[in-house]
């Protein structure tokens, strides 16, 4: 079973990635989700897929999500640091990088540096940081 963390889980690519995970329950498991501020969507996803943790980069949104997930055992992280925690979670074998714009660059780099394979679903990360991203992929031996 391959653990998957999705950066940008509430966007169209993130939702599609979750549909694929749902179709392959013996092979894939969503373990962590990150979004900017879509509280209702990410909490629904977290409950449906029983992930270990979520992160919202918007602090107020993270507080609301935390209140909504009380008693579920799902951890809620906030801010950029929270997104980084999802990108580097031990349970994740692969990280889907689908955050909008270059906001996903640092989390993607940290996922690579943590030994995670990365599925790029955001061209901005490669356009803005392609040289360093590719160098880090080679350096850490990930795909």
All structural domains of the chain with their residue ranges: 2-140
Q: Mind listing the pLDDT tens digit for each residue in 10-27? A: 999 999 999 999 999 999
Q: Mind listing the pLDDT tens digit for each residue in 38-50? A: 999 999 999 999 9
3-state class (DSSP) for residue 124 = helix
Q: Cα dist. 4→27, 29, 127, 132, 141 in Å?
A: 10, 6, 24, 23, 18
Q: Structurally, what CATH architecture does the domain formed by 2-140 represent?
A: 3-Layer(aba) Sandwich (3.40)
Instruction: Check pLDDT > 90 for residue 143.
Output: no
Q: Tell me how crowded residue 126 is: count the other CB atoms within 10 A of its CB.
A: 15
3-state class (DSSP) for residue 97 = strand
Confidence (pLDDT) at 130: 82
Report residue 37's pLDDT band, with 50, 70 and 90 as the boundaries. very high
Residue 68: exposed, middle, or buried by beta-carbon count in 10 A (0-12, 13-18, 19+)?
A: middle
Question: pTM here?
Answer: 0.94
Top pLDDT among 120 and 67 is at: 67
Confidence (pLDDT) at 131: 87
């Amino acid at each position: 079973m391959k653990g998957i963390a999705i950066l940008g889980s509430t966007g169209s690519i993130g939702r599609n990635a979750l549909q694929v995970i749902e179709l392959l329950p013996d092979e894939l498991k969503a373990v962590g989700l990150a979004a900017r501020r879509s509280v209702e969507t990410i909490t629904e996803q977290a409950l449906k897929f029983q992930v270990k943790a979520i992160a919202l980069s918007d602090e107020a949104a993270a507080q609301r999500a935390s209140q909504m997930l009380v008693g579920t055992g799902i951890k809620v992280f906030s801010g950029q640091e929270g997104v980084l925690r999802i990108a580097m979670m031990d349970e994740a074998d692969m990280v889907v990088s689908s955050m909008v714009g270059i906001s996903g660059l640092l989390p993607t780099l940290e996922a690579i540096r943590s030994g995670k394979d990365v599925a790029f679903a955001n061209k901005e990360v490669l356009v803005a940081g392609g040289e360093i991203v590719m160098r880090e992929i080679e350096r850490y031996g990930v795909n």
